Amino acid sequence: MELKANDKVCATGKGLFVAVKEGHPAYHRWN
């Protein structure tokens, strides 16, 4: 599993939680 934002890998690994601020493209995925 990879979480990418702007073609950059933000997080890799299964079940890894990353803190995303409101307004981030992936924010709704963690909300």
Beta-carbon contacts of residue 12 (< 8 Å; ≥ 6 apart): 1, 2, 3
Could you list the residue range(s) of the whole structural domain that residue 20 is in? 1-31
pLDDT given for residue 8 in this prediction = 64
pLDDT given for residue 14 in this prediction = 46
Q: Are 8 and 2 in contact, with CB atoms under 8 Å apart?
A: no
- DSSP lists the bridge partners of residue 8 as 5
What does the pLDDT look like over 1-31, one tens digit per residue? 566 666 666 555 545 555 656 666 665 665 5
Domain total in the chain: 1
pTM: 0.18
Distance CA 4, CA 12 (A): 9
